[in-house]
Every structure is written in structure tokens, then in C-alpha cells.
Amino acid sequence: MPDFNRVQILILSSIEWGAAWQRHQIFASQLAEAGHEVFFVENSGFRNPGLRDLDRLWARIKNLSAPRLAGLRDGLPSNLRVIAPRLLPPTNPLFRRGNAAIGIPRLIASLHAAGLGPRPLVMTYFPTATTLEILRWMEPCAVVYDCAANFRAHPQAPADFPQQEAELLACANLVICDSDFLYQQKRAEHAHVEQIHQGVPEGYFKAKPPARDFRRFCYFGTWREDLEPAFLTALCQAGFEVTVLGPLKSSPLLPSGVRHVPAVRREELASRLGAFDAFLLPYRINPFLLGVIPAKIYECLALGRPVLATPLPCFSPMAQLVHVSDAPAEWVRIARALPQTETSTLRAERLALARKHTCAQEFQRFHKALHAAWERNNQGQAFTNFTL
């Protein structure tokens, strides 16, 4: 019987390796640490390109015939390779034919040249024509769909996305979701669904309690268009200190009065966040974001600080620990009341909930689920559900 711990893992990511540290990189690193040889293929494209993407799209077209070979990145273990695919976004028939005829065969050759053998376990983060074509080439020993976003509600999703997701679900041996919303959605569509978050590192539990005046508020992470600046504006106008710590990917960038601190190394982030009294999660409410559970929520809770958030479904189970409102004026009222409403009991309850979702615990569940999916698929025999 083959040894699961020696199975190679091919990850078809929806982000670049150098993007903000998320479950994609976390699980890839943990799988490598567990002894698997991991091949991490960066974002191969999902949405229709816009004007701001023209330079990136042209660069991909120029490099289509010369994919970069897989290789090691600085600081990565030798059994984790990051591959930058030379593929076009699979959003129209011409691009898809180009990928199928040129880009994907060259990517497969690059993977094999880097050491990928037959029948890897393939984990993908979104169902696209590119993903499905790669699966046809791979003959994987198991397929895992790590569904961490409600892509079917993405405003720029390809028109045939529902069909593509149905094809992926039909051949997947396991579906993993992080939010309650996606877990309930996928449970109705697949027989094997697990709800697993990527967890919080141990370093976040070492923070001292916040100051009692609760004047310093922080959003940490990438500031994007799916965040609502009106909440930050209201807090600033009420006299609170508001900081955004991380990259900016939105225009206009930030409201007046908000302090910006560039991203810091992830190893330093927990200690830097200890200087703030509370955290902000001002997500817009729309169909796509209904499936989101912020990667940082358990990090916020592990720091013991209060959290002000907009009413995403993921916050319902933790309503006693997270202050939820869809009105900027109500955020101001909540912020002003924190010196009276915050207690040591609330802090202890936040820490206790975060303790149930450490990186180590979540990876143990994740690895166990992958092992079970691999065993269900004839104990690692060639994948046969996908028709070439």
C-alpha cells in the first residue's frame, strides 16, 4: 500500500506566492513541513481583464511561448516549488484554445521537469477552464477543491462558471470550505465537505491586554475596493486614531485622516498589532463577499482585542465576541462605549475561541481530511472519474 505522506501535492492557486499571506501559502508550507513534495502553481487567471490589467495581460501574451521553469524561492524548503504559469485568463474561447494548445502543455512539461511525477494529489482554489484542462492532463490520485470564496457570485466570473464548478464538484474527492456560508452551500452539492480554517499562529496569543482608553483602531491586510471607507471616516471624524497596516489596492486610496503603515514581515505582525486597542473589518456586503470569513478573524480574537465588523454571515456564530453593525454612526457609538463594555471575561472568551483554531489544530484536521479523500479514491490508484 502506498504511503500517503510521500504523495506529491500539486496546488493550483488563485493568488501569487508573494501576495498577502493566506491559506494558500499556509497549507502549502505546512504540507511541505509534513514531508510532502509540493508544487505551487500561481494564479492562472479567473476574471475578465480590465483596463488596469492591460500591462499584465500583454506581458503574459509575450511570455506565452516561454514559461518560466519551476524553481525554488528564497526562504522556501527544498520540497516546495513555486511555478509562475504563462497562461492567459480563461475568459473567452480564443484564450482557452491558446492555453490548451500551448500554455498548459508547456506548464505540464515544466512541472515534470521540476520533479512532479505521475498521479499527484491536486488541490485547486477555483474551478476554471484552465483548472479542468490541467486535471485532464494530470490523472491525479485525488482532487481537492479548497473553496474559500463565493466565486459563482463574482461580478466578473465567466458566463459558464456554474458549468465549470459543476464539473469540478463531480470529479472532486473532497471539498473544503472556511466560512459557514460556503460550507452550507457546498454540503448541498457534494457528499464530502469539511469546514476548515487556516488558523492562527501561536505568536498572536502573547499580546498584552489593550489600553483602557480604546483610542487606537487598526485594519491590517490589503486595503481593497471590497472594503468600505465610510466606517474609517466616521471613526476619524469622531476623534479616534485609525490606521491601515498593509498594501493599498484601491482608489481613492484611503479617507482623509487615516494613517497608513506599509506591510511588515508576517513574523513581525503580531507584535506590531499589540500597539492597537481594537481592530476593524469594514467589508462591503454583496453576494460575492457573503462567502468570506476574513483570514485575520482568529488573529484578531487571539490578540484579545474588540473587533468592529460589518454583518457578514461568518460573524453570526461569534456575535457575543464581535461588534457587528452596518452603520458607520453605530460604529462610533460602539467605539465610544468600549471602555465600559469591554471586560476581562470577553477577552478570555475571545482567546478561548481562537485557541480552538490554531494553525497546528487546523492543519491536523486538514491533513487528515486529505488522507481520507486519498484513501476513498482507491487508496491512491489513478484518478478515473475525469474523462480525457
The answer on pLDDT for 67 being more than 90 is no
Q: What is the pLDDT of residue 388?
A: 41
**Residue 48 banded pLDDT, cuts 50, 70, 90:** low
Q: Choose among 181, 124, 175: nearest CA to 150.
A: 181
Q: Rounded to two decimals, what is the model's pTM?
A: 0.88
Place of cell 473589518: 281
Q: Are residues 129 and 215 both part of a single domain?
A: no
Instruction: Name the β-bridge partners of 264.
Output: none
CA distance 143 to 172: 5
What is the arithmetic mean of pLDDT over 110-133?
94
Residue 252 lies in a domain: yes
**Whether pLDDT at 36 is above 50:** yes
Distance CA 269, CA 68 (A): 32
Do residues 164 and 237 share a domain?
no
Range of the domain at 295: 202-355
**Total tally of structural domains belonging to the chain:** 2
Residue 380: which residues within 8 A CB-CB, separation 6 or more?
2, 4, 7, 119, 141, 142, 374
Contact (Cβ atoms closer than 8 angstroms) between residue 176 and residue 368: no
Q: Does a structural domain hold residue 386?
A: no
Q: Would the CA dihedral through 373, 374, 377, 379 be positive or negative? A: negative
Residue 351 located in a structural domain: yes
* Mean pLDDT, rounded, of the chain: 89
Residue 385 counted as domain residue: no
Same domain for 183 and 315: no
Q: Is 90 exceeded by the pLDDT of residue 209?
A: no
Looking at the fold, whether 174 and 35 belong to one and the same domain comes out as yes
* Lookup: cell for 132: 479542468
Both 231 and 297 in one domain: the answer is yes
- In a shared domain, residues 232 and 249: yes
Q: What is the pLDDT of residue 34?
A: 96
Write the DSSP assignment of 158-208 as a string of letters: -TTHHHHHHHHHHH-SEEEESSHHHHHHHHTT-S-EEE----B-GGGGGPP
CATH number, domain with residue 70: 3.40.50.2000
Does residue 236 share a domain with residue 373?
no
For residue 95, tell me if it sits in a domain: yes
Residue 164 φ then ψ, to 5°: -65, -40
Structural domain contains residue 61: yes
Give yes or no: residues 87 and 230 share one domain: no
3-state secondary structure of 360: helix
Residue 20 clears pLDDT 60, i.e. is over it: yes
User: What does each C-alpha distance from 197 to 67, 176, 363 come to in angstroms?
Assistant: 33, 9, 9
Q: 122 with 12, same domain?
A: yes
Looking at the structure, tell me whether residues 110 and 226 fall in a common domain.
no
Query: Please, which pLDDT band fits residue 1 given cuts at 50, 70 and 90?
Result: low
Three-state SS for 36?
A: coil
Is the distance from CB of 219 to CB of 282 less than 8 angstroms?
yes
In this prediction, residue 156 carries a pLDDT of: 79
In this structure, are 101 and 149 located in the same domain? yes
Confidence category of residue 66, pLDDT binned at 50, 70, 90: very low
The answer to whether residue 387 sits within a structural domain is no
pLDDT digits (tens, 9 = 90+) for 128-160: 999 999 999 988 999 999 999 898 888 878 888
The pLDDT-based confidence of 61 (bands split at 50, 70, 90) is low
**Sign, Cα dihedral of 138, 56, 291, 189:** negative
Whether pLDDT at 294 is above 60: yes
Judge if 225 and 115 occupy the same domain: no
pLDDT at position 59, please?
A: 52
- On whether the CB atoms of residues 82 and 73 are closer than 8 A, the answer is yes
HEC secondary structure over 248-307 = EECCCCCCCCCEEECCCCHHHHHHHHCCCCEEEECECCCCCHHHCCCCCHHHHHHCCCCE
Q: What pLDDT is stored for residue 334 in this prediction?
A: 97
Residue 338 in domain: yes
